[in-house]
Structure 1
């Protein structure tokens, strides 16, 4: 019996060593060992459940039973420093296993966090996941393993239910993000691959969006070789903002080459292109009709509304000023009445109500003088 257990243990060790050797094969995001060549070196990269994906919000399925994500121990960093590491593919911070996350099907312990980004010439391109075809400037991943079923990350990463990753889309704006400053401010000390530096521990919760109850969830894979299809993905709908200066540092300070290499290679565009969804279902913890705008969209809406209000106020002011400066008779000249002569009350009282016209007798050129003695028959009255 002991011999059987020992044999099983040795087989597991050999399996893990073999998988480690596979993972150690060199790869890049572009070039002769780039993404198009991953499948030849890492067969899992051609699987049907690969990540990242484009999340079409109109095709997601609302699942009301999905609870909000609850970080565990993220803010209990204590006095032990973190280690910031340039591994040639990204910047990484190993996390203590007593950190974890609740709101998942299993108990999960933290492993590490890392970032993906683009280059200074790109426009909002650098995230791995996209939502409705739109990418963000960068993306944060916080990796956990299923500590309820597996003893460590090495064993869990090859199991279908082994890993859980939180994905946070990052956009750029004007204000400095103090949470991300805990990482970005130290990038200059790990410019080259293989370099690491101890940094003060900080609250990992500060890297996440405020709303942890609105997210997308699906089954996928690691986004880097060996691309094991063992990840339960949680991608938050709300984005976080960092400043343009912070994003520029992330995109320009680091190199994927070591200090020994004569030619420096910038560490940029370290994101995998989106993969086919195939027959997978993407769940949403919120209804489709309850849209939440990103910080950039909210700013655009506020600015647009203010400009519209100012424009409307100027138009109304112009109209009122025009009306006040123009008299009503000038506006409607066709209805202006002709001026009437003034008459005294005495004249008005003596004016006859009918016009009387006296007609001359035949043969006479002069009108007949009015004589009180004439009869009424000698007059013609014209009314």
Structure 2
């Protein structure tokens, strides 16, 4: 753990002379996530998101992490939602500011602003967060701002400004509720295209069980990476059919329609997991504290021998490095 922490610190302090151009960013190449900190200094901070949720390290606090209170999530308003392709993801703007969350240790009331998706080109990747190293094919984020600051713009830079709910997807049954969004993908294929769609009861898009979740303090997962987010990642997943996920992968492009040439799909629009440093990961229920990778065949009561393996591997590397200096 000490070695990993040291590597994280060294990595966060590395600087590069050349900077990327302006405030344009991508998920790949010279303007990808490894270079965001050049134009957006917050992206090199020590409270960044996403992270790998290491369940054996969680602190269970059932009293503080009580069930969240959802207000207005079960209603349909007369206002339209704004569905758009912003070149980085599919995003749905929630014009109805009556959807709110509170309780659950949040310490304030937060108003729903928008939700968006991160997905992979294949089923084995796509989610931004991971659980014990396992990624999911897609992840949805519902972004909220602190009601006391009045709006999203005023909240985004405040340490307690935002609360984001994260949901993992798994391949399974056809999801008719998300199909109401997918049916409009043909109208937002290209960057900066947007349309108005009928509002949807947000509760229909979420899992039925919302009492088991993880909690930590982090950041936006895209530039400017402000460290202003209280993250809530739910344990229960959302089912979606393979053919529905294919629509995300093949219909939504990061290009502008006027670009011409080969259109590039947005798939793999996720930031790699970031270092935890000294942050704590909390859980709302004891069942969330487990380690799927713990070796138990050696009668060690599930205690991982990963640190021992790490030290042994480092020893072998050192031996390999110094062998050329000896003659036999």
User: Any idea what the Cα deviations from partners look like across 1:112-137, whole Å, max 9, x if unmatched?
Assistant: 11011011xx2331000001111111
Hey, what does 1:266 align to over in structure 2? Answer: 265
Q: Partners of 1:274 and 1:82 in 2: how far apart?
A: 30
Hey, what does 1:138 align to over in structure 2? Answer: 138
Q: Partners of 1:114 and 1:70 in 2: how far apart?
A: 21
Q: Partners of 2:27 and 2:258 in 1: how far apart?
A: 21
Q: Partners of 2:191 and 2:24 in 1: how far apart?
A: 13
Aligned with 1:260: secondary structure? helix
Q: Partners of 1:290 and 1:37 in 2: how far apart?
A: 34
Q: Does the 8 Å CA contact 1:58/1:288 hold for their aligned counterparts?
A: no
Hey, what does 1:200 align to over in structure 2? Answer: 198
Do residues 159 (structure 1) and 161 (structure 2) align?
A: no
User: Any idea what the Cα deviations from partners look like across 1:127-149, whole Å, max 9, x if unmatched?
Assistant: 0000111111100000001112x
Q: 2:62 aligns with which of 64, 72, 75?
A: 64
Hey, what does 2:14 align to over in structure 1? Answer: none
More moved, 86-95 vs 262-271: 262-271
Greater Rg over alpha carbons, structure: 1
Q: Partners of 2:231 and 2:248 in 1: how far apart?
A: 24
Cα drift, residue 31 of structure 1: 1.6
Q: Partners of 2:70 and 2:47 in 1: how far apart?
A: 26
Hey, what does 1:239 align to over in structure 2? Answer: 237
Hey, what does 2:114 align to over in structure 1? Answer: 112
Cα drift, residue 290 of structure 1: 7.8
Hey, what does 1:257 align to over in structure 2? Answer: 255
User: Any idea what the Cα deviations from partners look like across 1:292-351, whole Å, max 9, x if unmatched?
Assistant: x9xxxxxxxxxxxxxxxxxxxxxxxxxxxxxxxxxxxxxxxxxxxxxxxxxxxxxxxxxx
* Moved >3 Å (runs of 4+): 288-291
Query: How many residues are paired up?
Result: 265
Q: Does the 8 Å CA contact 2:56/2:289 hold for their aligned counterparts?
A: no
Cα drift, residue 288 of structure 1: 3.6
In the alignment, structure 2 segments of 5+ residues that lack a partner are 1-21, 293-328
User: Any idea what the Cα deviations from partners look like across 1:184-236, whole Å, max 9, x if unmatched?
Assistant: 12111100001011212111111111111100000000000000000000000
Hey, what does 1:224 align to over in structure 2? Answer: 222
Aligned with 2:29: secondary structure? coil
Hey, what does 1:323 align to over in structure 2? Answer: none
Hey, what does 1:176 align to over in structure 2? Answer: 174
TM-score (normalised: structure 1):
0.67
In the alignment, structure 1 segments of 5+ residues that lack a partner are 1-23, 294-383
Q: Does the 8 Å CA contact 2:60/2:289 hold for their aligned counterparts?
A: no
Hey, what does 1:314 align to over in structure 2? Answer: none
Aligned CA RMSD, in angstroms, stands at: 1.5
Hey, what does 2:40 align to over in structure 1? Answer: 42
Hey, what does 2:128 align to over in structure 1? Answer: 128
Q: Partners of 2:156 and 2:168 in 1: how far apart?
A: 23
TM-score (normalised: structure 2):
0.78
Aligned with 2:145: secondary structure? strand
Aligned with 1:180: secondary structure? helix
User: Any idea what the Cα deviations from partners look like across 1:4-37, whole Å, max 9, x if unmatched?
Assistant: xxxxxxxxxxxxxxxxxxxx81100002211111
Q: Partners of 2:161 and 2:52 in 1: how far apart?
A: 23
Hey, what does 1:355 align to over in structure 2? Answer: none
